[in-house]
Chain A
Amino acid sequence: MKKRIFAVLAAAAIMLTGCGSAESGSSVSPAANDGYDVDLTQLSSSMVYGQVYDMVTNSDSYVGQKVKMKGSFSYYKDEQTGKEYFAVLIADATACCSQGIEFILKGDPVYPDDYPAIGTEITVTGSFAWYKEDYATYCQLLDAEIIPNDAPAEDTTKELSWN
């Protein structure tokens, strides 16, 4: 009987360990180096996926933070509204899902003259912001700057998911 009680208490302890770590409502990222609040270029692709997901779902915690991220350049034009969207996309480890963040460059750049080719691997820095359209939350980097990388992205044909 004592053994059973001990085992039940051990199980309860495991449960409390889990609950204790889950007290905070939203995730918080540790501070990155080089003056960036969130430096996604320092993380493995699995970590980047998790971090970008956190930025999308806990957008308020990141508003105004300086973000640096690396991924493939993507462009989309809404034919109905004529609005253009520019984003940097990161594929996850299984290569079937992509997380992306839209960016708006500083100044008045014109597409395609002031942008890299679609699929080019780029590094983007900017200030984090978000907005809502219908039921979806979209994240963006404002006052962004593009730093081109050497290597082109491997795959540019995947379906895109920005939220």
Chain B
Amino acid sequence: MSEQLSTLRYYLEFDFVRYAIIVGLLISLCASLLGVTLVLKRFSFIGDGLSHVAFGAIAVSSVLTFGLRAIGSEATGRLAEVLSENNHTVIVLPLTVLAAVLLLRTGQNTKIKGDAAVAMISVGSLAIGYLLMNRFPSSSNISGDVCSTLFGSTSILTLKGSDVVVCSVMAAIVIVTFVVFYNKIFAVTFDESFTRASGVNAGLYNLMIAIITAVIIVISMNLVGSLLISALIIFPSLSAMRILRSFRGVVICSAVISVFCAGVGIILSILYSTPVGSTIVAADIAVFLIFSFLSLFRKGR
């Protein structure tokens, strides 16, 4: 045990490990805050759908980068560098936000409703994304690129200082928005019709939830990849709901569980060389099982 601790202390001297832990904890905190709302609004699967949109958007941005470089002029080369240096966020974030708005805001008024719309956009983006990556590879290792995008791989350990700043700012915006509009989010989550009837612009708050969801999805892709993002959103909320009943209690408990599991997952994966995303989700599953067990005693009383 002391050997593991000294190894961990040594690893913590590396900048990229500290970056991974900071970003991991911030992402997990943001995901858990919104997770409660999404689960209660029956949008648990939207994380999956939007992450696949982000995957498709990364592929589009990679192709664009490839094309700009192929043109060969100095201006296009510089533009390509800008795209690849910020992990394609300039393209990925607006496209994901657009998809989120379409799914969450107009979902009620369209011919293709709810889960069908999410499923259609999800698999459609995944297919187009893989098709583009395959036809216009950004490196010689296509399977590695796809695997890294889908499962996060070890990309959380390859963050730069600038990535940490971008992630921190995005996380701060999400947290501050959630705290400031907590009461409105609470109202929209539980009874949208009543909220509308009481004069609150529920559509505006739904739009805000959609945008925040998209931001969280985009910043989460580095941590767990696009296939495992839903776990970050769903598991902490469901675990908290096993034993707590109030909205505030569930949100706080969910945040604590999520941050704890992300921290434990990252540290274990670094020490024992396991995939970061899968290890975090495994920790989330373990906590869910423990809380489910504890809930049996709660009901028994």
Interface residues of A (CB under 8 A from B): 4, 7-8, 11-12, 14-15, 17-19, 21-30, 43-47, 49-51, 53-54, 57, 92-94, 96-98, 135, 159-161, 163
Contacts and interface: CB of A to CB of B under 8 A. Distances in A.
The SS class assigned to the B binding surface is helix
9 contacts: A24-B15, A27-B14, A44-B273, A51-B14, A94-B154, A96-B148, A98-B141, A159-B142, A161-B141
Nearest to A54: B16
Contacts of A96: 143-144, 147-148, 151, 153
Interface residues of B, number: 53
A52 to B, nearest CB: 10
Contact of A22 (B141, B158, B161, B171): B161
B296 interface: no
B172 A47 contact: no
B161 A24 contact: yes
B180 A8 contact: yes
A46 B269 contact: yes
Contacts of A53: 16, 157-158
B295 interface: no
A27 B20 CA distance: 12
B12 to A, nearest CB: 9
Contacts of A47: 11, 14, 17, 157, 270, 273
Q: List the 5 shortest-distance A-B pairs measured between CB atoms, nearest first.
A: A18-B168, A50-B157, A15-B172, A96-B147, A161-B141
A14 B153 contact: no
B167 interface: yes
A94 B275 contact: yes
Contacts of A17: 22, 168
A46 B147 contact: no
B297 interface: no
Of A21, A22, A45, which is in contact with the most chain B CB atoms at under 10 Å from its CB? Answer: A22
A161 B144 contact: yes
Contacts of B64: none
B274 interface: yes
A81 B271 CA distance: 42
A14 B171 contact: yes
A160 B164 contact: no
